């Protein structure tokens, strides 16, 4: 079992991406875990209006993100400030995420699925989502745990750290669900903090998705992930063998 409380790090491209799985964040903070959000881009591409003040939009979206995090008990929010819309999974970004992982030393890291390109037959996954996810994935492994990678981080006093669990959101291949029935209202309020991006229409849409996700397990509402167990200790191996389809 992980130490209690567990440290959990979410990494996403845009302010509002994490809120689609903020029910899980709410469940985990209620359990006493220490949750950090990291937003890679500044969200400045979140408007198509010709006269939009994009510098002001960055401030608005930061404030919305902080409020959304607070709604589910998350106080630690990091903004890396990359330009929205043109993100690349470059080494500089991987180094920055490696630095954050070594600083926080999370047991669990939550990213989106970097392999998702086509979602159903109606949505092309945003390239920023894939770029942030790819950089975070390779920050988790191998960069965070490998002493020779990014030696400049050792000079900053940041020792290697092995992440135990990787959760993928926005995936077509989920293998576990988190029961969010008790926190669905908190999740919806968290989403609605992003007033510049989301309107009331998100309420029924997300409730519908999460009800569908919960159906198989008999949960009123749930969120799904693909889970990678990167560090298998004996206790975990036993837990996995006793519960082939784990749920929380």
Kindly list the residues in this chain that would bind Zn ion in the complex (CB under 5 A): 14, 17
> Residue 74: left (phi > 0), alpha (psi -120 to 50), or beta?
beta
Nearer to Zn ion, 17 or 19 (CB): 17
Smallest separation (angstroms) from Zn ion to the CB of 129: 6
Residue 76: CB minimum distance to Zn ion, A: 20
Provide the pairing of β-strand 34-41 with 7-12.
parallel
Secondary structure of residue 224 in the 3-state scheme: strand
In the bound state, the residue with its beta carbon closest to Zn ion is 14
Q: How many CA atoms lie within 13 A of 233 on its CB side?
A: 8
> Which of residues 14 and 94 has its CB atom nearest to Zn ion in the complex?
14
Residue whose CB is less far from Zn ion, 14 or 61:
14
Taking the complex as a whole, the smallest distance from the CB of residue 42 to Zn ion amounts, in Å, to 12
Name the residue nearer to Zn ion (CB basis): 84 or 179. Answer: 84
Q: How far is the CB of 121 from Zn ion (least distance, A)?
A: 20
The DSSP result for 50-99, as a single string, is TT--HHHHHHHHHHHHHHHHHHTT--EEEEEEEPTT-----HHHHHHHHH
For residue 137, give Cα distances in angstroms to 8, 112, 143, 175, 204.
15, 9, 9, 18, 32
CB of 54 to Zn ion, least distance (A): 16
Q: CA-CA distance, 198 to 10, in Å (whole number)?
A: 20
Closest distance of CB 16 from Zn ion, Å:
6
Half-sphere exposure of 77 (CA within 13 A, CB side): 27
Residue closer to Zn ion, measured from CB, 17 or 165: 17
Rounded least distance, CB 146 to Zn ion, Å: 29
Residue 156 to residue 51: CA distance in whole angstroms: 43
Quick check: bond before 162 cis, omega within 30?
no
DSSP bridge partners of 166: 109, 228
Closer to Zn ion by CB, 17 or 179: give it: 17
């Amino acid at each position: 079992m992980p130490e209690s409380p567990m440290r959990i790090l979410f990494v996403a491209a845009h302010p509002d991406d994490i809120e689609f799985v903020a029910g899980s964040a709410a469940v985990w903070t209620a359990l006493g875990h220490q949750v950090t959000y990291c937003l890679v881009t500044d969200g400045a591409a979140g408007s198509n209006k010709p006269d939009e003040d994009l510098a002001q939009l960055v401030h608005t979206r930061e404030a919305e993100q902080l409020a959304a995090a607070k709604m589910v008990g998350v106080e630690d929010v990091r903004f890396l400030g990359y330009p929205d819309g043109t993100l690349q999974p470059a080494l500089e970004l991987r180094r920055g995420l490696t630095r954050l992982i070594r600083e926080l030393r999370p047991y669990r890291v939550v990213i989106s699925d970097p392999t998702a390109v086509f979602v159903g037959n109606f949505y092309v996954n945003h390239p920023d989502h894939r770029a942030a996810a790819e950089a975070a994935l390779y920050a988790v492994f191998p960069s965070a745990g490998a002493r020779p990678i990014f030696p400049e981080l050792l000079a900053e006093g940041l020792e290697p750290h092995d992440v135990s669990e990787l959760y993928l959101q926005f995936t077509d291949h989920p293998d576990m669900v988190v029961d969010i029935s008790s926190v669905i209202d908190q999740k919806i309020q968290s989403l609605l903090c992003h007033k510049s991006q989301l309107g009331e229409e998100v309420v029924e849409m997300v409730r519908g998705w999460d009800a569908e996700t919960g159906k198989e397990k008999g949960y009123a509402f749930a969120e799904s992930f693909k889970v990678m167990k990167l560090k298998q200790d004996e206790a975990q191996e036993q837990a996995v063998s006793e519960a082939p389809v784990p749920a929380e």
